[in-house]
Amino acid sequence: MQQGMNGKKIPVLTYIVRRFIMIPVTLMGVTLLVFSMMQLLDPYQLLSAYVSSPAELKGQNIERLITKYGLDQPLPVKYARWLGQVAKGDLGWSESASMPVGKAIRTKFPLTFELAFYAFFPIILGGFWLGKMTAVRHNSIFDHSTRMAVIIGWSFPDFVFGLLVILVFYSWLGWFPPGVLSNWASQVVASTEYSNYTGVLTIDALLNGRFDIFWDALRHLMGPVTTMTYLWSAFLIRITRSGMLEVLHKDYIRTARAKGLPEKMIINKHASKNAMISVLTVAGRLVIYLLTGTVIIETIFNRPGMGKFVAFAAQQLDYAGILGGTLFFSLVLVLGNLIVDVLYAVYDPRIQLG
Amino acid sequence: MHIFQNIDKDTRRRIHKLLTNPTALLGFVLLTGFIIVAAAAPILAPPADPNTPYIIPRLGFLTEPQPPSAENIFGTTEGQYDIFYAVVWGTRTAFKIGLLVVFCTTLIGIIVGAIAGYYRGITDEILMRMTDVFMSIPFLIAVIVLTTILGKGLDKVIIALIAFDWMDTARLLRGSVLQAREEEYVQAARSLGLSDLRIIVIHILPNTTFPVLIQTTMRIGTLVVVASGLSFLGLGAPQDYADWGQIISYSRNWQGLEFWYTIFFPAMGMVLFVLAWNLIGDALRDIFDPRLG
């Protein structure tokens, strides 16, 4: 992204403005791409992606509905009408969730956000620490064994590792049950005296002053969080390690050594700070990956978040559901990348923009 | 084999380094093992009907998985599908998917990247914005939505993987072509009045494709994981088709420790297969990324 067309340096502000201008273009492109894919559906399947409630399909003349939604119109007209609907947030009726797609996203996204939030910290802290240590003890047994563990971790498909976590921590030890809440807790949450402020279970539990429910929700989060931590730490360890190794070979570190500074101070004060820059960029990307990459984890651990919503919609051939979910995930990805790029441009003055 | 004649000394030295790297070597050994299993599948697990070798044989209709025994050395899943048979033929499925997808995406990536890098300007701008758009849908989600729209099945998964996995290759190649077109040999070819197509195919590509080719090959592991993931979700391979993701999904209802074999053997297949590619890829990164020395 930052590499310019001809490698010329441009001011940060110009870069940021240009980056913002590109967003509508990219989003337009995404809707065009999704719309093109929709055209592969036959008219009846396509219709199911348009209707705003199941009642509409009952007793209605299909031909009349096709006319109503303009499905017999030429492509550009169809696209414009569909885009207008999408822009209003009307994404149709999700058959698999039995509610409008917009509402489904609003109720399911908080759970995905919650999972990403709790997975983020162990990954960042553990990954950064291990990555730093492997770089400091470059080529030691510790370095090699961590590296091996990283490659092996990276080689586990999420559904395989997730199933193993369930096997060990649920079937065998009985510690981390799948799902989001125990039966008694979901009854409390569904009752009238309990208010769902945000949809994020742990936060709502705290706001309601129910620490038992908070603890219960946390226990259900442990399985997927463990899985994600193991799989994604690999990614962070690798980045931190190479960032740190690069820094450790820099002249100013040699100078610090020559001055006779204690090694601990060189690592913690001089090297870590600069290695943090690469970690910060990765941290931003990690958030995006965690938010958009939960399809299989949520399915395995039976958490009704956005990822499971898309998987289930696909299994049920709920076209409105998957198309809406796809648009939503793309929005998260595009905006996430924008935020990361802008923060990076502002934070690191050395970066070449273009 | 025009490509290989054009490999410069530097690349040759790197290949030598790769072949003597212990990590890569372990990867190559594992990979060779899988190639042997895939090639010898008809001998290791003879199909009942040679015309439909990918259909996993059913040994009964009992619901409960059965532990490994003399006849079924890896045991059976729910519905009595033979795990050993599925793992062996699943190896072939994995190679088929990986190689086919990588071949097609490399081809598309090379065409798009070469055109964008060589013609620059507005052509480049349009092609690269298109690439951005394809990258704006999270990969797994994109594959899921296209597979579902096309109507599920392994062939649909392959099409969807190809549709959304050519972008990295295109970007990489565009970068190298942008550089290469300024080099003297290209300028010389142009001043001789050679056609653009000839310059790109005969002169630029042989000098730029090799590193890209290696990088894309390393995607095979990831691609197989995604394809298996779709089969696991029930969107890929049909009911009784020999696919690792599919056979692992049969273990989902049997999460007790006594049913360890329903997940262990197919998981071993998958993890070792991906590990082989990752080990080679890791060594490659070390060798091609001089910063880390």
Chain-chain contact of A171 with B255 (C-beta, under 8 angstroms): yes
Name the pLDDT band for A9 (thresholds 50, 70, 90).
Answer: low
Among A residues 52-91, those touching chain B with beta carbons less than 8 Å apart? none
The full length of chain A comes to 354
pLDDT on residue B107 = 93
8 A C-beta contact, residue A207 and residue A247: no
8 A C-beta contact, residue A134 and residue A275: no
CA dist A218 and A208 (Å) reads: 15
Distances from the Cα of A270 to the Cαs of A137, A168, A274, in angstroms? 16, 42, 7
Testing the interface with A: which of B137, B182, B261, B268 to mutate, by most A Cβ within 10 A?
B137
Chain-chain contact of A330 with B138 (C-beta, under 8 angstroms): yes
How confident is the model over A112-133, as a mean pLDDT? 90
Lowest mean pLDDT among A115-129, A233-247, B7-21: B7-21
pLDDT digits (tens, 9 = 90+) for A221-231: 999 999 999 88
Q: Would you say residue A48 has pLDDT above 80?
A: no
How confident is the model over B148-162, as a mean pLDDT? 91
Residue A59, phi-psi category: left (phi > 0), alpha (psi -120 to 50), beta (remainder): left
Q: Is B7 helix (H, G, I), strand (E, B) or coil?
A: coil
Helical axes A158-165 vs B220-232, angle rounded to 10°: 60
Q: Quick check: A43 contacting B, CB < 8 Å?
A: no
Tokens of A84: 């207008």
Q: Would you say residue B158 has pLDDT above 80?
A: yes
- Closest CA in chain B for residue A22: B129
Hey, CA dihedral for A240, A245, A246, A248, is it positive or negative?
A: positive
| Burial (CB count <10 Å: 0-12, 13-18, 19+), residue A36 | exposed
**At a CB cut-off of 8 Å and minimum separation 6, what does A127 contact?**
A232, A233, A234, A235, A236, A237, A240
Q: Would you say residue A107 has pLDDT above 80?
A: yes
DSSP B241: B
pLDDT on residue B260 = 80
Q: Would you say residue B116 has pLDDT above 90?
A: yes
Q: Is A179 helix (H, G, I), strand (E, B) or coil?
A: coil
Q: How close, in Å, is residue A43 to chain B by CA atoms?
A: 12
Burial A104-137 (b: 16+ CB within 10 A, else e): bbebbbbbbbbbbbbbbebbbebbbebbbbbbbe
Q: Would you say residue B1 has pLDDT above 50?
A: no
Residue B71 CB neighbour total at 10 angstroms: 10
How confident is the model over B256-274, as a mean pLDDT? 85
CA dist A32 and A34 (Å) reads: 6
The backbone torsions φ and ψ at residue A292, rounded to the nearest 5 degrees and listed phi first, read -105, -5
The backbone torsions φ and ψ at residue B58, rounded to the nearest 5 degrees and listed phi first, read -105, 135
Q: Calculate the average pLDDT of chain B.
A: 84
**At a CB cut-off of 8 Å and minimum separation 6, what does B286 contact?**
B21, B292
8 A C-beta contact, residue A297 and residue A307: yes
pLDDT digits (tens, 9 = 90+) for A149-194: 888 888 888 888 888 888 888 888 888 888 888 878 777 777 777 7
Contact residues on chain A for B229, CB-CB shorter than 8 A: 157-159, 295-296
Of B228, B252, B265, the C-alpha closest to B85 is B265
Higher-confidence residue: A229 or B9? A229
Name the pLDDT band for B189 (thresholds 50, 70, 90).
Answer: confident
CA dist A304 and B49 (Å) reads: 42
Tokens of A179: 């799902």
pLDDT digits (tens, 9 = 90+) for B211-230: 787 778 788 888 999 999 99
Q: Would you say residue B142 has pLDDT above 90?
A: yes
| Burial (CB count <10 Å: 0-12, 13-18, 19+), residue B264 | middle
Q: Would you say residue A207 has pLDDT above 70?
A: yes
8 A C-beta contact, residue A193 and residue A246: no
Contact residues on chain A for B233, CB-CB shorter than 8 A: 295-296, 299, 311, 314-315
CA dist A85 and A79 (Å) reads: 10
- Closest CA in chain B for residue A328: B137
Q: How close, in Å, is residue A22 to chain B by CA atoms?
A: 9
Q: Could you tell me what percent of chain B has a pLDDT over 70?
A: 95
pTM: 0.86
CA dist A195 and B253 (Å) reads: 34
CA dist B199 and B179 (Å) reads: 14
Count interface pairs A-B at CB distance under 8 A.
Answer: 142
From B149, B232, B234, residue closest to A40, measured CB to CB: B149
CA dist A247 and B292 (Å) reads: 10
Lowest mean pLDDT among A24-38, B109-123, B245-259: B245-259
DSSP B55: B
pLDDT on residue B289 = 60
Q: Would you say residue B20 has pLDDT above 60?
A: yes
CA dist B82 and A319 (Å) reads: 35
Higher-confidence residue: A212 or A67? A212
Residue linked to tokens 């050994």? B29
Lowest mean pLDDT among A49-53, B111-115, B169-173: A49-53
pLDDT on residue A60 = 65
Residue A341 CB neighbour total at 10 angstroms: 19
pLDDT on residue A3 = 44
Of B129, B203, B219, the C-alpha closest to B166 is B219
Lowest mean pLDDT among A65-79, A159-173, A293-307, B156-170: A65-79
How confident is the model over A126-134, as a mean pLDDT? 87
pLDDT on residue A88 = 83
Among A residues 181-220, those touching chain B with beta carbons less than 8 Å apart? none
8 A C-beta contact, residue B116 and residue B174: yes
Name the pLDDT band for A285 (thresholds 50, 70, 90).
Answer: confident
CA dist B234 and B153 (Å) reads: 9
The CA angle A312-A313-A317, to the nearest 5 degrees, is 120
Q: Would you say residue B262 has pLDDT above 90?
A: no
Q: How close, in Å, is residue A194 to chain B by CA atoms?
A: 33
Chain-chain contact of B144 with A164 (C-beta, under 8 angstroms): no
Helix residue spans in chain A (DSSP H): 12-38, 43-48, 62-68, 75-87, 101-136, 141-155, 158-165, 183-190, 201-207, 211-248, 251-258, 263-265, 272-292, 295-300, 306-315, 319-347
pLDDT on residue A6 = 47
DSSP A268: I
pLDDT on residue A94 = 84
Tokens of A158: 């999420």
Testing the interface with B: which of A95, A160, A296, A300 to mutate, by most B Cβ within 10 A?
A160
Lowest mean pLDDT among A2-16, A218-232, B232-246: A2-16
Q: Would you say residue A58 has pLDDT above 70?
A: no
